[in-house]
Amino acid sequence: MIEALALPRNEDGISAALGILKQRFGDRFQTGQAIRDQHGHTTTWIPTQAPDAVVFPDSTEEVAEIVKTCAEYRVPVIAYGTGTSLEGHVNAPAGGVCIDLTQMDKVLAVNAGDLDCRVQPGVTREDLNTHLRDQGLFFPIDPGANASLGGMAATRASGTNAVRYGTMKDNVIALEAVMPDGTVIRTGQRARKSSAGYDLTRLLVGAEGTLGIITELTLRLQGIPEAISAARCSFPSVRDAAEAVMAVIQYGVPVARIELVDTLAIKAFNAYSKLDLPETCMLLLEFHGSEAGVVEQAETFGEIAKETGGTGYQAATTPEERNRLWKARHDAYWAIRQLRPGTMGISTDVCVPISRLAECVGQARDKLDELGLIGPIVGHAGDGNFHVALLIDMEDADEVARAETYVGWLNELAISMDGTCTGEHGIGQGKKPYLVKELGPATRFMSAIKVALDPDNIMNPGKILPD
């Protein structure tokens, strides 16, 4: 069984803080086992470590109040958005208070002229995009899950169209956050660029709630493109498909999405979504631009695909065709789970320089067979990022052990290729040993920052950094 280290609990402090918060928040303070378990529930094989209580604030001031109380009694504080993170980020290994931010779900301002907006952290990406649609704007980061924007910032999320629009680090202009002592700060103003002091915005993005709790985000928006088109193309192997991706990036085609789906994942899509896609490795693409621009991009890709052994290239320009093509990809999680019902789905998240992608994904594919594991592969290939969705029978200790071996082997393979163990999911509890392998002495300075800003280690303890 995968371990999740419990940390020492400050029982007296927890008891005192809970008493105060219960008094203050009434019904918005909950300690029932079910709600606690739900808030410590992880989506992977890391066991649940429930917090002692869950509070539902509805303003920055209330978050600051909770943090001040917890700071006074040295009680852990864990921020919670939609609970879709994948590395045990919401676990409470030392107990403490979970701050559920779902009631802070307002879009506070949309500045269409500046292509930016201000939102509370509990707004989900789908809600934001629904809100923006009438103004011809959208927020491009799409990690798949309908995650909260605060959580997406905290894990430095990205997803299918990061290849064109970047990740959360590139699309957060500024943050408001409650720091570990309860101080509310703003990390920047609304200008599109700034050289004013240390980049606290980018420090909090990806800090997984260990340095402060994000209470407001100023986000960069995009105009909805004049034209969007999609295409798909089959390849004999993941290596061939990855070669085509490498060519697309090197050629500088500004694709908005270029997703790799392996044979097993295609089979899952066909079964789940009742499609008849050719059962071999495939690339799914989306092009954004002017009417002429997307045609040009699609043509360029068509030529690249031909040169790299692609077959069955199909372009789709109407929304209906496009939606059909992308529906399978969006349903990937459910489709893949259905390949082997009753098993646990574990997603790896390595990301390598694009020139190493074919080699990395090819080896990742071969190693599955060697270890006798089932793991369809889907990937944001334009970034060099792909996920092996391991389907593990958690009752089979030997299979679990082989899966652990696989995950460690793949993380180390990516690191040896000058890549990272996590392209977009974060370190959380699950990848702590690999962070040290990847960045070595740099992690010592991360720890120094953590100690300086959070000397009592109350902000999401037990995540990211070596214990």
Give Cβ neighbours of residue 401 (< 8 Å, ≥ 6 apart).
Answer: none
**How many residues form the binding site for a second copy (CB under 8 A)?**
93
- Selected binder of a second copy within 1, 196, 320, 341 (CB under 8 A): 196
- Selected binder of a second copy within 290, 314, 318, 323 (CB under 8 A): 290
Q: What pairs with residue 117 in β-bridges?
A: 110, 219
Residue 25 has φ and ψ, to the nearest 5°, of -105, -10
Q: Does 206 bind a second copy (CB under 8 A)?
A: yes
Residue (122 or 419) nearer to a second copy, CB: 419
Q: 């060099």: which residue's tokens? A: 384
Interacting positions 135-174 with a second copy (CB under 8 A): 155-158, 162, 166-167, 169-170
- Selected binder of a second copy within 61, 130, 334, 445 (CB under 8 A): 445
Distance set, CA 133 to CA 128, 168, 259, 274 (Å): 9, 20, 25, 30
- Selected binder of a second copy within 53, 305, 427, 458 (CB under 8 A): 427
**Whole-angstrom distance, CA of residue 253 vs CA of residue 296:** 10
Interacting positions 299-338 with a second copy (CB under 8 A): none
Tell me the residue type at 33: Q
Of 26, 76, 85, nearest to 52 by C-alpha is 76
Token readout for 17 is 């803080």
Residue (52 or 116) nearer to a second copy, CB: 116
Interacting positions 230-249 with a second copy (CB under 8 A): 246, 249
Q: Residue 279 CB, nearest distance to a second copy (Å)?
A: 30
- Selected binder of a second copy within 108, 185, 271, 397 (CB under 8 A): 185
Distance set, CA 146 to CA 122, 123, 387 (Å): 11, 10, 18
Q: Residue 164 CB, nearest distance to a second copy (Å)?
A: 11
Tell me the residue type at 143: P
Q: Does 205 bind a second copy (CB under 8 A)?
A: yes
Binding segment for a second copy (CB under 8 A), chosen from 28-36, 196-204, 310-318, 340-348, is 196-204
Binding segment for a second copy (CB under 8 A), chosen from 30-38, 50-58, 96-104, 351-359, is 351-359
Binding segment for a second copy (CB under 8 A), chosen from 1-9, 269-277, 318-326, 347-355, is 347-355
List the alpha helices (DSSP H) in 285-372: 291-307, 319-330, 332-339, 357-371
Q: Does 383 bind a second copy (CB under 8 A)?
A: yes
Interacting positions 63-122 with a second copy (CB under 8 A): 111-116
Cα diameter, the chain: 69
Q: Does 425 bind a second copy (CB under 8 A)?
A: yes
- Selected binder of a second copy within 423, 430, 461, 462 (CB under 8 A): 423
**Whole-angstrom distance, CA of residue 464 vs CA of residue 442:** 13
- Selected binder of a second copy within 5, 108, 271, 292 (CB under 8 A): 292
Q: Residue 281 CB, nearest distance to a second copy (Å)?
A: 21
Q: Residue 68 CB, nearest distance to a second copy (Å)?
A: 14
Specify burial of residue 49 (Cβ count, 10 A radius: 0-12, 13-18, 19+): buried
- Selected binder of a second copy within 8, 26, 197, 341 (CB under 8 A): 197
DSSP, residue by residue, 217-285: EEEE-EEPPSEEEEEEEE-SSHHHHHHHHHHHHHHT---SEEEEE-HHHHHHHHHHHT----SS-EEEE
Q: Does 194 bind a second copy (CB under 8 A)?
A: yes
